[in-house]
Amino acid sequence: MRKTLLICRRELAALFGGPLAYGLAAVFVLLTGYFFYSDLVFFVLFGGASLPAGLWRFVFLDYRLVALLVLPLLSMRLLAEERKLGTLELLWTYPVRDREVLAGKFLAALLVYLALLALTVSGPIVLYVLHPFAPGPVLAGYVGLVLLGTAFLACGTAASAVTENQVVAAMLTYGVLVFSWFVSWNEAAVGETVAPLLLQLSLFDRFYGFAQGVIDSRDVVYLVALTTLFLFLAARALGTRTWRGVA
């Protein structure tokens, strides 16, 4: 655990020592803020009487898209950059296990993501001060964003573990995530027996309940299971060096 935290701290220092984290945070906050404000204006003018259905649902569905855009950029460098610079091999010479390296880096990315999410709370807080509202649906939305973003980051970590090129890692992550979104888009293109299955597998459909203010144990378990699978794949990708002769 100590080694994991050490690697996490080192990763955070690397992230915040350069402009990347701040740039991503600025884009993240600007986009989420823009969506929040425009959804709010739309709700005030046309949105009907229910805050969860008329405002929060759209806000969190939009935040989800911003997470899709930003998180692969955050995760792409986790292992790929180290591999490209050769520092990963150096890291392997230390008495530290693969899973500790992986956990440390993933934890660092997750902490950055949580910090990004914390920055988005400013809009709802200002609104709450002006017009108090029931916080339950907002809480559910953020729980969903944490779980969905964790799965995104795990996917990005796995992609970053299989290549030394950051752009390839980011594109691979975008490919997997966007496919898991589009897979349930055109139900008319698949059979009626396949469509429900695809809906069950779609990452984004699993988020829909959270956006509406409902935390469903099935969605929580699915997102946690997917995160576990991606992290396992990342660990296996790192582990293959022993029989591929990488190190």
Which of the residues 151 through 170 are near another protein (CB under 8 A)?
none
| Cβ count near 109 (within 10 Å) | 27
Identified binder of another protein from the candidate list 9, 13, 18, 175, rule CB under 8 A: 18
30 binds another protein (CB under 8 A): yes
Q: Are residues 139 and 216 in contact, defined by beta-carbon separation less than 8 angstroms?
A: no
Question: What size, in residues, is the chain?
Answer: 247
Q: Could you say which residues in the range 188-227 bind another protein, by CB under 8 A?
A: 188, 192, 195, 205, 208-209, 212-218, 220-222, 225-226
- For another protein, give the closer residue by CB, 3 or 133: 133
- Give the CA dihedral 202, 225, 140, 197, nearest 10 degrees: 30
Q: Does 46 bind another protein (CB under 8 A)?
A: yes
Query: Nearest distance from residue 144's CB to another protein, in Å?
Result: 11
Number of Cα atoms under 13 Å in the Cβ half of residue 52: 15
CB of 212 within 8 A of CB of 55? no
CB of 224 to another protein, least distance (A): 9
Using CB under 8 A as the binding rule, whether residue 243 contacts another protein is answered as yes
Between 53 and 171, whose beta carbon lies closer to another protein? 53
Helix (H) / strand (E) containing 97: none
CA separation for the pair 160, 84 (Å, rounded): 11
Q: Residue 49: how many CB atoms within 10 A of its CB? A: 6
**Residue 99 binds another protein (CB under 8 A):** no
Q: Does 87 bind another protein (CB under 8 A)?
A: no
Binding segment (CB under 8 A) for another protein, from list 5-13, 106-114, 131-139, 169-177: 131-139
Minimum gap (Å) between residue 191 Cβ and another protein? 9
